[in-house]
Structure 1
Amino acid sequence: MDNSSGIQASLAGRYALALFELARDEKKIEAVGQSLAGLKQALAESNELAELTTSPLIGREDKARAIGAVAEQMGLDPLTRNFLGVLAQNGRLSKLGQVIRAFNLLAASHRGEITAEVTSARPLDDDQVAQIKQHLRTRMGRDIAVDLNVDPTILGGMVVKIGSQMIDSSIRTKLNTLAHAMKG
């Protein structure tokens, strides 16, 4: 399944596609993927890093120097470090989360997998992730790559999106449904 044309429709998608093609040509898809996974986690855990990427008050040059230092300290691969510099210089660092998501979709497609976006109220441990992957693999009949997100506002349960399909077993949705039914 080639979904690169859909991804190219967005600005972040075009950057992700460019990074993916470079990584593929240099046979570094896994290294870049690991660097981006570490970066995604750092963005989720560090308010300062998230602010660096999105703040309009920080100039492009300062962002480029700062993100270069962060990339160096994190030990990101050279291709990802250079890519982050390009994003900063072009004023597109705020699109980093979308670029990471699009890159992961491209990499999963390249491996013959489909990607499931799984949102839970709190972080899942490795056993839970393995169970989810196994269940989805059985249901879909293909290998599954899982993109994990944490959103405490769903209160509990999970929301799983695979392409245009969505399985919403969150407590928030169940409570909203119950409240709507009670208004009747």
Structure 2
Amino acid sequence: MAEDKTLVSGVAGRYATALFDLALESGALDAVDADLSRFTALLSESDDLVRLVQSPVFDADEQLRAISAVLTKAGIGGLVGNFVKVAASNRRLFAVPGMIAAFRQLLAKHRGEVTAEVTSAEPLSETQTAALKEALKAQIGKDVTLSPNVDPALIGGLVVKVGSRMIDTSLRTKLNSLKIAMKEVG
């Protein structure tokens, strides 16, 4: 476990490591991951919830009451519910998204997976996602979890980041390279 702890650092890392250790000890890694995904989905759907999480205007008691109501309504309890409430009462609610990312890093390492950030111009289909996972697995030799992002400015193609390696096959980058080459010629 000591090697996993060096994977994440800072406030988010300490909270994530504590949650990971509790989830591992109680055999609830998958349940915690699912609840964290539900909480992340809530954040992506509600600007008001993001404001509550990020705003320093609300004091700890207000944040705790509000987030408790949100968690209850969403049916998120157990370790994740307590985790988010502890973060709120300690004035660390703003760091929960970072804590979730750090938890996912620990979980991926525990499972022997590698996370690849994939940015595409449009959402990838299930077939494209499966093909990309297989191609990356063949290249890296480990199971790959995709963290998809959409950026229409790419025009087409993909940008894939795995650890410190990046593969950029986006049309935007190719057009920029062509533009630079044309300037050098002229």
Give the TM-score taking structure 2 as reference length: 0.87
Cα distance in 2 for partners of 1:136, 1:107 equals 19
In structure 2, the CA distance between the partners of 1:72 and 1:140, relative to structure 1 (3 Å rule), is same
- Mean CA deviation greater in 119-128 or 24-33: 119-128
Amino acid at match of 1:97: P
- Mean CA deviation greater in 114-123 or 63-72: 114-123
In structure 2, the CA distance between the partners of 1:167 and 1:3, relative to structure 1 (3 Å rule), is farther
Following superposition, the deviation at residue 11 of structure 1 comes to 1.7
After the TM superposition, which residues 50-129 of structure 1 pair with which residues of structure 2 at under 5 Å, given as runs?
50-129=50-129
In structure 2, stretches of 5+ residues that fail to align are: none
Following superposition, the deviation at residue 155 of structure 1 comes to 4.1
Is contact 1:120-1:150 (8 Å) kept?
yes
Is contact 1:13-1:102 (8 Å) kept?
yes
Cα distance in 1 for partners of 2:62, 2:117 equals 33
Following superposition, the deviation at residue 3 of structure 1 comes to 4.3
Following superposition, the deviation at residue 33 of structure 1 comes to 0.5
Following superposition, the deviation at residue 95 of structure 1 comes to 1.4
Structure 1 counterpart of 2:164:
164
Structure 1 counterpart of 2:178:
178
Is contact 1:156-1:171 (8 Å) kept?
yes
Cα distance in 2 for partners of 1:81, 1:106 equals 19
Cα distance in 2 for partners of 1:64, 1:172 equals 44
In structure 1, stretches of 5+ residues that fail to align are: none
Is contact 2:7-2:106 (8 Å) kept?
no
Is contact 1:31-1:77 (8 Å) kept?
no
Q: Does 1:143 align with 2:143?
A: yes
Following superposition, the deviation at residue 180 of structure 1 comes to 3.4
Is contact 1:32-1:77 (8 Å) kept?
no
- Tell me how large the CA RMSD over aligned residues is: 2.1
Structure 2 counterpart of 1:33:
33
Give the TM-score taking structure 1 as reference length: 0.87
SS across alignment from 2:91: coil
Amino acid at match of 1:104: R
In structure 2, the CA distance between the partners of 1:18 and 1:169, relative to structure 1 (3 Å rule), is same
Following superposition, the deviation at residue 27 of structure 1 comes to 0.7
Larger gyration radius, structure 1 or structure 2: 2
Identity %: 45
SS across alignment from 1:144: strand
Structure 2 counterpart of 1:4:
5
SS across alignment from 2:6: helix
